[in-house]
Amino acid sequence: MDIYIYNTLTRQKEKFVPVDPNLVRMYTCGPTVYRDVHIGNYRTYLMADFARRVLEYNGYRVKKIQNITDVGHMRRNETNPEAFDPVIMAALESGRKPLEITQSYTEQFLADNERLNIQPADVYPKASDHIEEIIEVVKELLNKGFAYDSGENIYFDVKKFKDYGELSGNTLTKMEKLLEAVRVASETDKTDSADFVLWKRVDPQYLMKWDSPWGLGTPGWHIECTAMSLKYLTSVFSDRLPDNRIHLTIDLHTGGEDNIFPHHEDEIAQSESFTGQKFVNIWLHGGHLTVEGEKMARRRGNVFLVQDLVDRGFDPLSFRYLTMTSYYRSKMNFTWDSLAASQKALDKIYQLVKSGPAPIQHSDPSYAKEQVLIGCAEYEQRFLEAVNDDLNMPKALAVVWDLVKSDYPLSAKKASLFKFDKVLGLRLKETSEKPEEVPSGVLQLVEERENSRNNKEFARADELRGKIEDLGFTVEDTPKGPKIVRM
């Protein structure tokens, strides 16, 4: 079945056709590791994970690269376009060395990925390890006349790139008007206000600096992603792919909606000027997670971390579930109540998969006779249609609940749910196999009941079964002894 994804570049849903039928190449803009990665960031990373899982569900092999931004680059803001990110400054001022800071936040990022069951990327390249490639790209852009040295810094000359603005709609004519209003003194070395930094010269006392043909400096933010995505997903730096083909276009590039401009617009300008080929076929952007209607952002002080959810007694996967309840491109307002509702829904599914026998395997000879599994195929079809239609996870969840409420036998439902979980990522199989955590009171009653049965006091044993059921559990008598199951 075809997969459709909304492409920010063409502003429409497009049939997904990878450049190479055997391998999908995707790139996800990664975190800045001078600060905590919050659940707003994770909403975007979860979207990328759903995309990757849907592709794999359809039989594609996916190579996913997610960078780690560990260079304390400048970020524009409205009042001071060349200012340092204040959070990075605060981290550095805490007296810790850059490497110490970035290492501890990177470790936390990877641990939280695992808690949210985000499949690991093939490589997590660090910007600081790719200065050589960055310099190579900047050199070539200068050679080709797409960049200039202002005497202070190296800038990309946006007027030289005719498609500038195609992704975001911020064309140069439109921007000219906007930038007129915010032109500031520090930008006077640029030819055009829309030009952006490729390489910034810095003073020797500056912490993160590298040697370059243009003296000591530090890279611009956008050039990092160009260098790393081209390095790991194209043949630019390796001449040829193992199959001896030149490959310059990436299939899928993801990020949050704030990445569209300037970050991704600038990535396109640099990369296409550098390679002379299309950079990315499909641009996938997710809507923001908000709190009381405001974007969740470190600077606003309205962020929550995965650990905050755990501290309040939530399973991190309840947040994964929550992100599936709304369409990925819409904004989503985070509340503790909505998280609690997701946790409740998740617990219900867990109870279902933990109860009853394990699903019948395809290799089981009785499978062919098991008509019910054919029945579930209709839900499997609907599920596939939902996820292949621009990652429609709310619709996919609706299929899950329709299946749960259906009349199909438990083992057939579980078989389908375990398949769906390749996309949902809720660890359903793992949870179903986990031994039930049984309260000690129930265990004591079960033991008493066993003693009664051994003493042939069956009336007493039945009475105890009733008490066990009152506590939400039931006992199945198996040849191996009593099996306690949550009702």
DSSP summary character for residue 288: P
For residue 406 the two structure tokens come to: 């259906």
Residue 68 in 3-state DSSP?
A: strand
DSSP for 306-322, please give it.
Answer: HHHHHHTT--HHHHHHH
Residue selected from 24, 26, 27, 32 as contacting ligand AMP according to rule CB under 6 A: 32
- Residue 40 binds ligand AMP, judged by CB under 6 A: yes
Residue selected from 3, 5, 25, 41 as contacting ligand AMP according to rule CB under 6 A: 41
Least distance in Å: CB of 85 to ligand AMP? Answer: 9
- CB contact at 8 A, 353 and 432: yes
Burial class (CB within 10 angstroms; exposed 0-12, middle 13-18, buried 19+) of 226: buried
Residue selected from 29, 147, 198, 269 as contacting ligand AMP according to rule CB under 6 A: 29
* Nearest C-alpha neighbor of 419 from the set 54, 84, 112, 139: 54
The CA distance from 274 to 287, in Å, is 30
Residue selected from 8, 44, 128, 388 as contacting ligand AMP according to rule CB under 6 A: 44
For residue 388 the two structure tokens come to: 């292949």
The CA distance from 222 to 74, in Å, is 10
Q: How far is CA 176 from CA 172, 182, 190, 192, 259, in A?
A: 6, 10, 14, 9, 20
Q: Which is nearer to Zn ion, 257 or 385 (CB)?
A: 257
Least distance in Å: CB of 225 to Zn ion? Answer: 3
Least distance in Å: CB of 103 to Zn ion? Answer: 21
Rounded to whole angstroms, the maximal C-alpha distance in the chain is 96
Q: Which is nearer to ligand AMP, 87 or 216 (CB)?
A: 87
Least distance in Å: CB of 250 to ligand AMP? Answer: 16
Q: Which of residues 267-326 bind ligand AMP (CB under 6 A)?
A: 288-289, 295-297
- Residue 262 binds ligand AMP, judged by CB under 6 A: no
Q: Look at residue 225 and give the partner it binds from Zn ion, ligand AMP, none, a contact being a CB closer than 5 to 8 Å depending on partner kind.
A: Zn ion
What is the layout of strands, in order, in the sheet containing 147-149?
Answer: 147-149, 153-156, 196-201, 217-219
Q: Which is nearer to ligand AMP, 18 or 40 (CB)?
A: 40
Which residue type does 417 have?
Answer: L
- Residue 220 binds ligand AMP, judged by CB under 6 A: no
Q: Which is nearer to ligand AMP, 110 or 172 (CB)?
A: 110
Alpha-carbon torsion, ordered 414, 417, 419, 424, to 10 deg: -150
Least distance in Å: CB of 35 to ligand AMP? Answer: 8
Give the number of residues written for the chain. Answer: 487
Least distance in Å: CB of 258 to ligand AMP? Answer: 5
Which residue type does 394 have?
Answer: P
Q: Look at residue 198 and give the partner it binds from ligand AMP, Zn ion, none, a contact being a CB closer than 5 to 8 Å depending on partner kind.
A: none
Residue selected from 3, 18, 24, 31 as contacting ligand AMP according to rule CB under 6 A: 31
Least distance in Å: CB of 256 to ligand AMP? Answer: 2
Size of site (CB under 6 A) for ligand AMP:
16
User: Nearest to ligand AMP by Cβ — which residue?
Assistant: 256
Residues near ligand AMP (CB under 6 A) = 29, 31-32, 40-41, 43-44, 255-256, 258-259, 288-289, 295-297
